Structure 1
Amino acid sequence: MPELREPSQRVSPRARLMWGTAALLESVVVLVILWVVGPENDWVPLPLWGVVAVGVVAAAYVVGMPPWRYRVHRWEVTDTAVYTQTGWWVRERRIAPMSRIQTVDHAEGLLAQVFGLATVTVTTASAAGALEIAGLERGRALALVEQLTVQADTVSGDAT
């Protein structure tokens, strides 16, 4: 039995910057909270070395996660299906037949807008939930929404 190949398309290289920036902002918030509640206080008995350790782990996350995630996140659209691969620790590959597509959505969060990126969400009749392609260039995402809408509309089936 042949092994399932990876989808052929990558997300935008700018997605690495967006993910890194998001991780940095999250890490700063955590570190500020830890610092404000204060090392070795009554609420959180965390010694100063604990705050430093959290900072080291956060720095490793900010530096290591974006390139790792970029290598994994892929997508592809064929005449018959939408195929995605996502993950961080666990890789998930999902294939949604065109006949099962119910909606195709486009979203741009604040940080995504700063980097000119968007997310396309393909909702199907699957209990596993929607397929999400995050980190696409805005123009590519809009074109993909249009393409999928047309393709899903031309395929026979009831999307249930």
Structure 2
Amino acid sequence: MNVASTPNTRDRLQLRLREPANQVSPQAKTWWALQSVIVWVFALIALVVTVLIWGVTIWWSLAAALVVIWAALDLVFVPRLRYRWNRWETTDQAVYTQTGWFSREWRIAPLSRVQTVDTERGPLQRALGLSTVTVTTASAAGALKIEGLDKDVAAALVDQLVAITEATPGDAT
């Protein structure tokens, strides 16, 4: 038998790394910015505490300037970059994800390997109408997460993945 014509080889040939078609919700930019605000508030509190303990010094002034500049860049540019590069897609055979803005990662999870599909909605996500869908597979690399989905899109995606995986032969191992 020709190796190129075996079913497993054909399936693997169709699952190639590529840019997934779907972007996350535009609201994800707000969610990521709010997460950063929380982090930067703690950094600001730490700076204020240092002033109360040691007073204003040249080092404190330099640190404060760097924190303000870094926070501004983080709040303005990072959510936009994450939105631009975080993508996802599902087919009848696999889930494709692309994440990251500084360090980029592309992953493919064959649906025959899917063990669980979960939805998560933290307080900020609920307020913005967003969800995270986690697809757990029998992979040492861990679960695939699709963050920043509109809650209705996430619910439809979970329903679709459950229906496809129930109909897909395989033991998810």
Which TM-score applies when normalising by structure 1? 0.92
Give, in whole Å, the separation in 1 of the partners of 2:158 and 2:25. 16
- Structure of larger gyration radius: 2
Give the counterpart letter for 1:102 in structure 2: Q
Q: Secondary structure at the match of 2:54?
A: coil
Matched-pair contact (CA < 8 Å) for 2:17–2:106: no
In structure 2, what is the equivalent of residue 6 of structure 1?
A: 19
Q: Deviations over 1:48-104 (max 9, x none)?
A: 221221111111111110000001000000010000000121110000001000000
Structure 1 unaligned blocks of 5 or more:
none
Matched-pair contact (CA < 8 Å) for 1:100–1:158: yes
Q: Residues 1-160 of structure 1 correspond to what in structure 2 (within 5 A)? A: 4-38=17-51, 41=54, 46-160=59-173
Q: Secondary structure at the match of 2:98?
A: strand
Give, in whole Å, the separation in 1 of the partners of 2:110 and 2:17. 16
Q: Post-superposition shift, 1:143?
A: 1.0
Q: Post-superposition shift, 1:39?
A: 7.2
Give the counterpart letter for 2:153 in structure 1: R
Q: Post-superposition shift, 1:141?
A: 0.5
Which of structure 1's runs of 4+ aligned residues deviate more than 6 A?
Answer: none
Percent identical among aligned pairs is 49
Matched-pair contact (CA < 8 Å) for 1:40–1:46: no
Structure 2 unaligned blocks of 5 or more:
1-15
Matched-pair contact (CA < 8 Å) for 2:17–2:108: no
Q: Post-superposition shift, 1:46?
A: 4.4
Give, in whole Å, the separation in 2 of the partners of 1:46 and 1:98. 54
Q: Secondary structure at the match of 2:97?
A: strand
RMSD, aligned CA: 1.8
Give the counterpart letter for 1:82 in structure 2: V
Q: What count of residue pairs does the alignment treat as equivalent?
A: 156
Give, in whole Å, the separation in 1 of the partners of 2:49 and 2:98. 39
